[in-house]
Amino acid sequence: MPSIQPVIVWFRRDLRLADNPALARAAAMGVPVVPVFILDEATPGLRPPGGASRWWLHHSLAALDRDLAELGARLILRRGPAGAELDTLIAETGAGTVLWNRCYDKGSIARDADIKETLRDRGVGAESFNGALLAEPWEITTKAGGGYKVYTRFWQACRAAGDPPPPVSAPVAMAAPGTWPRSDDLADWALTPRSPDWAAGFSDHWLPGSAGAMDRLARFLDGAVMDYADRRDFPARPATSGLSAHLAWGDIGPRQVWAAAVGQAPAGQGRETFLKELVWREFAHHVLFHFPDLAEQPMDAKFDAFPWAPDDDLLTAWQRGQTGYPIVDAGMRELWATGTMHNRVRMVAASFLVKHLLQPWQVGEAWFWDTLVDADPASNPFNWQWVAGCGADAAPYFRIFNPTLQGQKFDKGGDYVRRWVPEIAGLSDKHLHSPWTAPADVLAEAGVVLGRDYPEPVIDHKRARERALAAFKSLKRG
Alpha-carbon distance 332 to 303, whole Å?
26
Closest CA to 115 of 127, 133, 131, 103: 127
Closest CA to 26 of 7, 4, 5: 7
Can 206 be counted among the known catalytic residues?
A: no
Residue 450 assigned to a binding site: no
* Active-site choice (180, 280, 423, 436): 280
Residue 374 assigned to a binding site: yes
DSSP secondary structure of 233-274: T-TTS--S---HHHHHHTSS-HHHHHHHHHHHSPSSHHHHHH
* Active-site choice (361, 367, 386, 420): 361
Residue 242 assigned to a binding site: yes
Can 249 be counted among the known catalytic residues?
A: no
Specify the amino acid at residue 164: P
Angle between helices 326-338 and 343-351 (to 10 degrees): 120
Contact 349, 306 (CB under 8 A): no
Can 189 be counted among the known catalytic residues?
A: no
Residue 248 assigned to a binding site: no
β partners of residue 126:
98
* Active-site choice (92, 308, 423, 436): 308
Can 277 be counted among the known catalytic residues?
A: yes
Residue 393 assigned to a binding site: no
**DSSP H helical segments within 372-428, as ranges?**
379-388, 403-410, 415-420
Can 10 be counted among the known catalytic residues?
A: no
Alpha-carbon distance 209 to 251, whole Å?
5
Closest CA to 432 of 464, 410, 460, 461: 410
Can 56 be counted among the known catalytic residues?
A: no
* Active-site choice (127, 136, 277, 423): 277
**DSSP H helical segments within 16-105, as ranges?**
21-28, 51-69, 82-93
Alpha-carbon distance 22 to 461, whole Å?
52
* Active-site choice (55, 155, 384, 420): 384
Residue 227 assigned to a binding site: no
* Active-site choice (180, 343, 423, 436): 343
Closest CA to 454 of 334, 323, 352, 345: 323
Residue 397 assigned to a binding site: no
Question: 33-39 and 7-11 as β-strands: parallel, antiparallel, unpaired?
Answer: parallel
Residue 244 assigned to a binding site: yes
Q: Which residues fall in the annotated binding site?
A: 228, 240-244, 274, 374-376
Q: Which residues are catalytic?
A: 277, 280, 308, 343, 361, 384
Q: Which residues fall in the annotated binding site for FAD?
A: 228, 240-244, 274, 374-376
